[in-house]
Amino acid sequence: MKRPSLNTQILIGCLLGVAGGLWLSQSGQTSEPIGQNTLYGAKLLGNLFLDLLRMILVPLVFSSIVVGVANLRAHAQMHRVWTTTLAFFFATMGIAIVIGFGAAHLFRPGEGLHLDMFAEATRNYQARQMPLPDYIAQFLRGLFQNPFKALAQGEILAIVIIALFLGIALVAGGERYRNIRVLIEELQELCLRIVGWIMYLAPLGLAGLLLQLVATQDSQLLLSLGHFILIVTGTTLFHGLVVLPGILWAFTGMSPLRFLKGAREALITAFITSSSAATLPVTLRCTEQHLHVKKDIANFVVPLGATVNMDGTALYEAAAALFVARLAGIELDLASQLVIFFVAMLGAIGAPGIPSVGMLSMVLVLQSVGLPTEAIAILLPIDRLLDTTRTAVNVEGDMVGSLIVQKLTAGKA
């Protein structure tokens, strides 16, 4: 019998994960030995898959960016790729924030609720305060680091910067450094080959992660915040299924279905792992091998986007800020909303692509307009759930970006 394709296997794994998780939570088995053992097995498999992705992440990001930049040999083209990429990142994050605001105004989540109703959750919660200037200073200091420290500790943004420098130096040095360029190019090919092997574990690993996720949700809490969850998820999906594919179609003529088909491995992995960084190896593989973006463009846009471009996070922070304002009974004026716009964008840019990190910059957003930061205690328990669609859309933005940058810079060296 012919073996089903990897995508079909992933789909079956996801269905089994959801079914197993629902069975465990509905039948109250999570505290019984059978439930505990199933959760233990699911955790082992899920973590194994995540660890394998993280294992390959650092050499892959490093080599991809160096190769990407070094291949943009003509300076003029390099300049165009840079500017188009950043313009795309800022524009789409801006659109996402406006959509987040729009949804919060239109559907008014939080109406009828009040912060006092969550006194139990917020009483003992002390959000870590960080004034905006400190946040900016910390972000800038994180950019330039000892390369060995950054590589050893997996600091993606710092690795991106080091790789950019090295790539530019290789371009400037020209033929003299051809051997190093070829060596790093081959390192990248080897990393992608290993990613291909890791993907064989994706169906089981994703099933394990999904089972845990579904089995450990607190249904009571989900119900009380159901309206907010529905609005945030619905709007994030709107951005991911209508706005981004629409922009892609307008610029490149690629149909949304064709795009989603090529991108689905990465989207599913991002949804389930809630980490753009851990998904990065899969994103690169999809962008190059399924969406056929040229190596030099994909290698530059995708790793940079994984840490900088986060539409889902930006949208969430804007919508959640208005939600908290409503809970606290505060009407935000236009000036405060503008502040939220910029801080949410900054927060999304500064957030590394790991699970629930958007919550940290959320504190910053609330603080910036004087909203109560202890409201984070209400958002935290539902964050793992919201982080799923948010991360998938974050990753989608990077793939859409690489396709658009490729189109807009083609042949304009």
**Helix, strand counts (H, E) of the chain:** 20, 0
How is residue 199 annotated by DSSP?
A: G
How is residue 32 annotated by DSSP?
A: S
Among 102, 147, 256, 355, binds ligand ASP (CB under 6 A): 355
Q: Which is nearer to ligand ASP, 50 or 351 (CB)?
A: 351
Contact flag: residue 356 with ligand ASP (CB under 6 A): yes
Alpha-carbon distance 343 to 365, whole Å? 6
Report the site for ligand ASP in 334-353 (rule: CB under 6 A). 351, 353
Alpha-carbon distance 41 to 29, whole Å? 15
From the list 210-218, 229-237, 249-257, 386-394, the region that binds ligand ASP by CB under 6 A is: 386-394
Cβ contact 208:14 at 8 Å:
no
From the list 179-187, 213-221, 389-397, 399-407, the region that binds ligand ASP by CB under 6 A is: 389-397
Alpha-carbon distance 84 to 244, whole Å? 16
Q: Which is nearer to ligand ASP, 274 or 336 (CB)?
A: 274
Q: Which is nearer to ligand ASP, 167 or 350 (CB)?
A: 350
Nearest by Cα to 99 from 250, 275, 225, 241: 241
Instruction: Go through the chain and tell me how many residues it has.
Output: 413
At 150 the three-state DSSP class reads helix
Cβ contact 64:315 at 8 Å:
no
From the list 85-93, 112-120, 268-276, 291-299, the region that binds ligand ASP by CB under 6 A is: 268-276
Among 21, 59, 245, 358, binds ligand ASP (CB under 6 A): 358
How is residue 330 annotated by DSSP?
A: -
Among 122, 269, 287, 313, binds ligand ASP (CB under 6 A): 313
Tokens of 91: 């524009």
- Measured from each CB, the residue nearest to ligand ASP is 358
Q: x/- contact string, 221-260, with ligand ASP (CB under 6 A)?
A: ----------------------------------------
Alpha-carbon distance 58 to 62, whole Å? 6
Contact flag: residue 389 with ligand ASP (CB under 6 A): no
Greatest alpha-carbon pair distance for the chain in Å reads 68
* Residue 18 beta carbon to ligand ASP: minimum distance, rounded to whole angstroms: 20
Q: Which is nearer to ligand ASP, 64 or 356 (CB)?
A: 356
From the list 42-50, 222-230, 270-278, 318-326, the region that binds ligand ASP by CB under 6 A is: 270-278
* Residue 58 beta carbon to ligand ASP: minimum distance, rounded to whole angstroms: 16
CA distances from residue 376 to 29, 186, 220 in whole angstroms, order as listed: 30, 45, 18
Tokens of 298: 């994909």
* Residue 347 beta carbon to ligand ASP: minimum distance, rounded to whole angstroms: 9
* Residue 356 beta carbon to ligand ASP: minimum distance, rounded to whole angstroms: 5
Contact flag: residue 184 with ligand ASP (CB under 6 A): no
Alpha-carbon distance 185 to 63, whole Å? 7
How is residue 286 annotated by DSSP?
A: I
By CB under 6 A, the count of residues binding ligand ASP is: 16
* Residue 390 beta carbon to ligand ASP: minimum distance, rounded to whole angstroms: 5
At 122 the three-state DSSP class reads helix
Contact flag: residue 394 with ligand ASP (CB under 6 A): yes
Which residues sit at the interface with ligand ASP, rule CB under 6 A?
Answer: 274-276, 310, 313, 351, 353-358, 387, 390-391, 394
